[in-house]
Structure 1
Amino acid sequence: MADRLHIIEPTLTGEAGHCFSFVSSLINAAGDAPLTVWCGRSAEVTFPATVRVNRFFLRKIRRLQALWLYRKLLKGHERIFVPTAGRTDLVLLDLAASGQIAPGRVYVYIHWFRPSPGKRAQLEKLARRQPEIVILAPTASVCEELRSVGFNRTRLAPYPITPCEAAACATAAQGFSHLLFAGAARQDKGFPAVVDLVELLHARGDSLPVTLQTSAEHYDKYDDATRQAIGRLEGCGYPHVRRVAETLTQADYQGLFAGAICLQLYSQQDFRDRISGVTLDALTGGSPVITLTDTWMARIVTRYDAGLAIDTTEPERVYQAVTQVMADYDRYRDNALKAGRELQMHNSAEHLFHELGI
């Protein structure tokens, strides 16, 4: 039997968001391979019976717990995979190791990479100390950056898309019904700009239906700008808003995209080369996307003509883009569905499964 793989995700606390879809996509691809998932202490998640689930992490001490767990697993010669890794995880893995980590024992997935000069020097030192850590990344440019600091075992692995059954995807082929903000409500994901649009709709006396997911990403924490935007939303009085604050099942989450125009006014600085799982989900669900130019999302949308890329979050410009997509919704929707079908293959978790050698 293959060695058991330990998937370590402290922020996995429920079935909302992309921590769960990332992990569940990998589990689906792994079949009956021996897996253990380490997640939040109170995590409400369901995985196949073949997967061991250890509800372990507490928010305030999760880094100390991660250090202890890494040390325990490395001493036991177990295999480790960290799906949402960052510099801190690399530091903790080095601290946990009694020496150089053996080949094929530690895999981390780094979604994006933009270190300061000081952090870069630290990473170069870590790469010299731990050359056998395998780093997986979703784009070629992120791979190049990681190799440039010395992590030579860096490989490209497409971000795993949430699987969609053909019958479920087919139900997405309907007419326009609403605007949608999906995923965690955060400033860098443009949530305040979407509230600006809602205020404009109210001022115009419009009646466009708007659905907003307003859950925080982790541990119910909002950044200040998002907290203020939620206050503006509550005080606006626009009667055609549906807020979704509760945790959704995967099926209910995917259902949000049917008939939608998905607003992804994400930060150009933060998402220039950063993958968005919401984009993958939107296109799979037949939802055209409105996003900002010079982002990963814009390149995908433009490639498939599955929405519009605009250069500002000014609400009048966003409204103009919305009306343009609405006027030709069926074409944009069909292009989105085509993109979704291609991305289901290109971003299948099978690729990540293969890289992990399960």
Structure 2
Amino acid sequence: MGYTAGMSEEPKRIDIVEPTLSSEAGHCHSFVESVCSARREGEACITLYAGSRASLPRIEGMGVRVVPYFHRRIRRPEAFLLYRKLLRGPGRIFVPTAGRADLMMLSLAAGKSIPAGKAFLYFHWVRPDPSKREFFRKTGRRQPGLTMMGPTESVVGVFRECGFRDVRIVPYPGSPVVAGAGGAEGAFRHVLYAGAARRDKGFPAVVDFVRLLANAGSGIPMAVQASPDHYGKFDEGIPAELDRLRKSSSASLTILPETLGAAEYRSMFDGAIVLQPYSKDDFTDRISGVTLDAFSAGAPVIATAGTWMARAALRFGAGVALEELSPASILSAVEAVRAEYPRFRRNAIGAGSALRKEHDARQLLEVLLSAGGKTP
């Protein structure tokens, strides 16, 4: 069976494939929701293939058809069968959190060259070792018509080098704006670590800081979100860090062990100083949805120097860049921001406003709706 020429149909059809999306919690949901919310009336028919237990009322409320589809243990064969079906039907395929496996399954399911403007893959980050580069080169030669997207040149550059013809820098879409978010008023409430408990996000440094506060009898309120990844798993060594965290005898510590719903997640940022001691090696040029959410809520950020988060904080005067991640260094930064919290908060609100424009999801949607096959 050949490919259907469906590139000019009105309204256009977009099939979004996001196997890990099951609930309204986390940045996976906000990413997809942002893209769907950028659609104008009558502009496109969107179908979302998500986790088998997906419950996504906000996205469904936008007129998006949600298909619960993927099971964790058989995700790859399911992806192969789905891609084979979608490649032979009308419309465009969009993979919001693409990885090597998606490239492999798409190419195998196609059996031949995929036409330009048919499949769009968004890579949040890439760290190619020699074997991955060779895989990308082979796939680039076999599937040059794929549209490869990412938030920065350091992410997409490898695909350009490996022979893909349509490679685009497309800003990471920010979360939809919440009414009342980032208001002008608001006093300091707590230091916050938001997101999954991960080693590359500096979770051990957060635990060290919490224990310093506890041992010093500090009254600085601290909230730590310590949720697992999409599949309920933790990095090696993180369970031991969680045990250390729980043993921190501090009355001012709040531990949030689960992934939160949208309203609870966003409320965490009210009056917060957001701590992001992320790995410089992993986040030098990698966008953080937590940072975008923090600034949108008027919450200043303390981040590792040399990361995208720290550069954003310094650019707008909305936080502090940490040269080293010792508990004492973090405490000094927290005290500096607390001392001038109204100023840092105003700057964070300004950062949120500017970054919402720079990261408007409409830019990504327009790539999906374009004729395809040609780099702007």
CA contact (8 A) 1:180 1:263 kept: yes
Which residue number in structure 2 is paired with residue 40 of structure 1? 51
- Superposition pairs for residues 34-183 of structure 1, below 5 Å? 34-46=45-57, 47=59, 48=61, 50-165=63-178, 167-170=180-183, 173-183=185-195
Give 4+ residue runs of structure 1 displaced > 3 Å after superposition: none
> One-letter code of the match for 1:127?
G
- Cα separation, 1, equivalents of 2:181 and 2:252: 27
Which segments of 5 or more consecutive residues in structure 1 lack a partner in the other structure? none
Rounded Cα–Cα distance in structure 2 between residues aligned with 1:49 and 1:340: 24
Aligned pair partner of 2:275 in 263, 267, 270: 263
Is the 1:17–1:217 Cα contact (8 Å) retained in structure 2? no
1:205-216 aligned at under 5 Å gives the runs 205-216=217-228
The 3-state SS of whatever aligns with 2:270 is coil
Mapping 1:248-327, distance limit 5 Å: 248-327=260-339
Q: Kindly provide the CA deviation profile for residues 113-152 of structure 1, in whole angstroms up to 9, marking residues without a partner as x.
A: 2201121011111001001100111012322222111122
Q: Which residue of 1 aligns with 2:373?
A: none
**Gap regions ≥5 residues in structure 2:** 1-9, 371-376
Matching residue's letter, 1:80 = I
Q: 2:244 aligns with which of 207, 219, 232?
A: 232
TM-score (ref. length: structure 2): 0.92
Matched, 1:30 2:43: no
Per the alignment, residue 4 of structure 2 pairs with: none
What amino acid does structure 2 have at the position aligned with 1:99? K
Task: Note if 1:201 corresponds to 2:213.
Answer: yes
Q: Secondary structure at the match of 1:55?
A: strand
What's the offset of the Cα at 1:156? Answer: 1.2
Number of equivalenced pairs = 357
- Distance in 2 separating the partners of 1:311 and 1:65: 45
**Does structure 1 retain, via aligned residues, the 8 Å contact 2:121–2:149?**
yes
Return the offset for 1:230: 0.7
Q: Distance in 2 between matches of 1:185 and 1:331?
A: 30
| 3-state secondary structure, aligned to 1:189 | coil
Compute the displacement of 1:166 (Å): 5.1
3-state SS, counterpart of residue 169 of structure 1: coil
Q: What percentage of aligned pairs have identical amino acids?
A: 46
Whole-Å Cα distance in 2 between the matches of residues 13 and 97 of structure 1?
Answer: 27
1:79 deviates by 1.4
CA-to-aligned-CA distance 1:51-83 (integer Å, 9 cap, x gap): 110111111111111111101111224410000
Would you say the 8 A contact 1:174–1:258 is kept in 2? yes
Counterpart code for 1:320: S
- Do the aligned partners of 1:40 and 1:56 also contact (CA within 8 Å) in 2? yes
Distance in 2, matches of 1:351 and 1:265, equals: 30
> Which residue number corresponds to residue 5 of structure 2?
none
Over the aligned positions, Cα root-mean-square deviation in angstroms equals: 1.3
Aligned to 1:224, the other structure's residue is in SS state: coil
Q: Alpha carbons of 1:177 and 1:41: their partners in 2 closer, same or farther (altered >3 Å)?
A: same
Q: Partner amino acid for 1:235?
A: K
Q: Distance in 2 between matches of 1:225 and 1:107?
A: 36
Say whether 1:339 aligns with 2:346. no
Q: Note if contact 2:182-2:295 (Cα within 8 Å) is conserved in structure 1.
A: no
Give the distance between the partners of 2:21 and 2:325, measured in 1 at CA. Answer: 31
**1:219-267 deviations in whole A, cap 9, x for unaligned?**
1111122211111111122221112233433222111111100000001
